[in-house]
Amino acid sequence: METSPNHKPNVHLTWQDLPITNQTEAPPAIDWPIRRHIASRVFRWLERIALAVENPINKLLISPQLNPFYHTGTIAFFMLAVVFGTGLYLIMFYQYGAKVSYESVAHMEGFFVSRTARAVHRYASGGLVIFTLLHAIRMFFTGRFHGARSLAWVSGIASVAMIWLAGITGYWLVWDSGAQLISQAFLNLLSLFPPLAQSFYLSVLDVGAKDKLWRFMFLLVILHVGLSVLVATFYWLHIKRLSRPKFFPPQHWMIIMGASLVIMCFTFPLGMLPIADFTKMPGVTTIDLIFLFYLPSALTESPTILWSGVAALIIAWGVSAAIPWLLPTKKQPPIVVHAERCIGCGFCAEDCPYNVLTMIPREDGSPYESVAVAQPDLCVSCGICLGSCPTLALTLGNRPAELLWEEVNAHIATAKAAQQPLKIIFACERHFMQGLQNFKSNSSDLVTIPVICAGMLHPDLLTHAIQAGADEVQVVGCPADDCTNREGNLWLEERLQRKRNPKLRSAYAHGAIFSTWLPPDDFAAAVPLHAAPTEEASPATVGRFMPQATKQNFLFLAIFLAIGLILQMALTYVPYQSQQDIHNLLQRLGLF
């Protein structure tokens, strides 16, 4: 835990105490060269590609908040919850044995509830893989895997592997022709080690050993459940360092996704493939390319090539997990608490998204009961706590919080000297990196000031800019649920609406202070000057609310999700005809 030395316990500087100067030059409030680490160029390029994919979806759905890419993490958890719930239900009716296991699954298909639950379990498992991968990709291109975020990254990568293995064992449990292909592929993999392959065949696949197959099926159930528990464990590690983890997506997402899953499962039930029969070829069957993409190669290639592929997958997985330490970065300055300025209000600890700040009792004779302390190893340098502190008691590293104030003063002084109007736009780092750098304005009365996150702006700083002479102040940040730092845009929105401390001062409740929440590459759409609101104007008129979706938006969302589910179903039922005769494999192993 880190707190600066308590040199001046009676110094309580507030935003309002800072003078309005005529200084026309000031150092930037944020050390941007440090934040532009070597790998960030790659991230900006990757994010530009991702934004090009996301923008058509935003335009199609009209409301950016309905973009599924903004909810990949919570949608993945929703899918995980559905998979767990339906899995617990189905396991109650599952039995162990060769023919018995197959017949127990076939029996489930005879009843509406269990048939639907089985289909929901299957499709939700595929959706879990898809949204988990999309979530990992988004975390990568936005650079959210370094430092304090490394635990979340590693646990997320580990969970992807566990989900995939759990899915394979789930397909194996049905003991149909699909399970036969999985068994043959595994036998082909083991054929590089004949004793292991022979043991696997004689104990599991041999026709004469079918009375002992229940033991193998029981072990598969244990493995399937165990892998699922591991997924849940890694998820707990994934959210361990978050202050207010979001488990589920907004209610409308769960309703639409749940209804779409049930309708699709009712319309397109899974059905049953023929029972596994190792005395003959399975013929034409279907495979799920989401989980069983490896089967075509695993059934036809030599075991040496297969083991090379397994080694390549393990190496790729290890490299992915080690990305936080493999990509070059510069350590960002963590938050520092200046105890002599802290009044123990607790706003910073309440707003911090990563449990960096906590309040402890003071023991220095101060009239205030508590003081904030920081854990630098948990800090991601988002700066959100700076926007919540009324006494400038926090800094990022050794860079004073007053610098942002002085930067605003310098721009206002320059505008006054030129006797021209001035609009100040504060843009978050993603807008600065993606849209602002390429934005060219023909207006000389427009000044843009980049900040790490919209949440690092204290409302008093915005009102000071108006008070000092700016004609308009605007904050441009990311859409709802798309803040790189999780909650920065939400906290600022609530501060401007006077719903969260520190609140926008009531005298400026209808002032020319606006907020605009747009995708990072759409900065130009935020620039047109707003008309100054009247005193009678509602807060919604002055642009301090994130846009809300309409019924038409939800209809488009339902259609969009339905198309996605149909595409997923197409990946789940890909026709395949095995080209490998198991008799040839057994002859090679000396078993036939």
Poorest-pLDDT segment among 151-165, 255-269, 408-422, 571-585: 571-585
Q: What is the mean pLDDT of the chain?
A: 85
pLDDT of residue 533 exceeding 70: no
Q: How many beta carbons lie within 10 A of that of residue 222, not counting itself?
A: 11
Q: What is the pLDDT at residue 334?
A: 92
Question: Which pLDDT band holds residue 592 (cuts at 50, 70, 90)?
Answer: low
Of 207-216, 351-360, 561-570, the range with the highest mean pLDDT is 351-360
- Alpha carbon 343 to its chain's center: 35
Q: What is the pLDDT at residue 542?
A: 42
Instruction: Assign 396 to helix, strand or coil.
Output: strand
Poorest-pLDDT segment among 261-270, 303-312, 387-396: 261-270
CA 496 – CA 17 distance, rounded (Å):
21
| Nearest partner of 160 among 354, 290, 67, judged by Cα | 290
CB crowding 277-288: b at 16 or more within 10 Å, else e = ebeebbeebebb
Q: What is the pLDDT at residue 5?
A: 39
Poorest-pLDDT segment among 260-264, 314-318, 433-437, 494-498: 433-437
pTM (predicted TM-score) = 0.89
Mean pLDDT calculated for residue range 427-456: 81
- pLDDT tens per residue, range 122-148: 999 999 999 999 999 999 988 899 889
- pLDDT tens per residue, range 545-589: 666 666 677 788 888 888 888 888 888 888 888 776 677 777 777
> Counting Cβ atoms within 10 Å, is residue 531 exposed (0-12), middle (13-18) or buried (19+)?
exposed
Q: What is the pLDDT at residue 283?
A: 79
- pLDDT tens per residue, range 375-434: 999 999 999 999 999 999 999 888 888 888 888 888 888 888 888 888 899 999 998 888
Every domain of the chain and the residues it spans: 15-29+330-526, 69-275+282-327+567-588
Q: What is the pLDDT at residue 54?
A: 86
532 or 113, which is more confident?
113
CB crowding 310-326: b at 16 or more within 10 Å, else e = eeeeeeeeeebbebbee
Mean pLDDT calculated for residue range 16-26: 56
> Counting Cβ atoms within 10 Å, is residue 40 exposed (0-12), middle (13-18) or buried (19+)?
middle
Evaluate whether 15-29+330-526 and 69-275+282-327+567-588 have a shared fold.
no
Q: What is the pLDDT at residue 536?
A: 42
**Residue 137's beta-bridge partner residues?**
none
172 or 445, which is more confident?
172
- pLDDT tens per residue, range 315-324: 999 999 999 9
pLDDT of residue 6 exceeding 60: no
CATH number of 15-29+330-526: 3.30.70.20
Q: What is the pLDDT at residue 3?
A: 43
Phi, psi of 277 (to 5 degrees): -140, 105
4 or 365, which is more confident?
365
Q: Alpha helices of 174-212 — where are they, by DSSP H?
A: 177-190, 194-200
CA 422 – CA 414 distance, rounded (Å):
10
pLDDT of residue 32 exceeding 60: yes
Return the CATH fold of 69-275+282-327+567-588. Cytochrome Bc1 Complex; Chain C (1.20.810)
